Amino acid sequence: MKKRRGRRGFWWWSWLLVLLTIGGVVGGFFYGKQKWNETPKEYLAYATLSFHVRDVFVSSKNGIQAGSTGVADANESEVLRQVKSEEFLEGLALDLDFVDNWGVSPTEVVLQLRTGLDLDLDQTSDQLTVAARLNDPQEAADFANAVATELPDLIKRIDEKKKEEGLEQLGRDSQPLLDEEAAAKAKLKQALAAKGVNIDPGPGVDLGDYLYIPEVLDAKLEWDSTGEALKAIYDSQAEYRNYWAKTVKPSFVMAKAVAPPSFVGPDLQPFQVRWSVYGLTAGMVAGSLLMLVCWKLFP
């Protein structure tokens, strides 16, 4: 009988558990709202850019035509990657005085800017939306506008660099044949000079009167051969050279960002749910301990 009364006495104190559990949930709910009020709010600003990048080179000989795939091509991806590079973002951070205003290191500023920057490319309309998410509405707008303003120059720099590198590679590919053609021409000129003929071989120069000389004929055939090989490589490069000769429609800012009037996050509910769960846990633990203590003291 004593054991049964002891159990009833223990459960009589269960109102403490219920009370502390409810108190913990309610307290956590309102404490979560307080923490949400103290949390910096995020503001989202948008700038729109007319985005034009040189299409990826596709040879017409293979019958493949370049078209919109819904996914950024290699040239577009290169531009978008550069926008989120440390060098690009650090330059903007210094121009906008974010490093001094935020009181943190340039590395931390770049990390926050990269996290808060989203680039959405619509290939069907050639529009790029620059979305900047920061804790200050004016800074978000300034950042979005700075990115949009710098993008046309960035596109131009990348394109010019790729063009220079591409043409330099074409030059390196053809240089051995240029050297061979120059050497064959010099050999022909030397063969002519050995027979007392002072002629500089070149386009339109008729050497028919001297081809009966074996040395001149051999040198002429070698020169013709190297010239044909050089022409063949130039012909193979023509499509690529024409690709770089074409101009690209310039990009420009279509709509500047304005300071957003309201924040977009964080949401209140996750804060209240999280702290309500904390309060529930704390209330259950404290209530259980208090039940045990009161049952021992007042059986």
C-alpha span between 227 and 86 (Å, rounded): 49
C-alpha span between 221 and 126 (Å, rounded): 54
- pLDDT score recorded for residue 1: 42
What average pLDDT does this structure show over 78-85?
A: 95
Q: Encoding tokens for residue 2?
A: 């004593």
pLDDT band at 212 (very low <50, low <70, confident <90, very high): confident
Whether 126 contacts 52, CB under 8 Å:
yes
Burial zone of 158 (CB within 10 Å; 0-12 exposed, 13-18 middle, 19+ buried): middle
The answer to whether residue 9 scores a pLDDT higher than 70 is yes
The answer to whether residue 63 scores a pLDDT higher than 80 is no
Give the pLDDT confidence of 157-199 residue by residue, as tens digits.
Answer: 999 999 999 999 999 999 999 999 999 999 988 988 888 888 8
Q: Would you mind telling me the total number of residues written for the chain in this entry?
A: 299
Whether 248 contacts 125, CB under 8 Å:
no
Q: Whole-model pTM?
A: 0.79
Question: Which stretches within 84-213 are classed as H helix?
Answer: 86-95, 98-102, 106-115, 137-194
Whether 188 contacts 201, CB under 8 Å:
yes
- pLDDT score recorded for residue 207: 84
pLDDT band at 144 (very low <50, low <70, confident <90, very high): very high
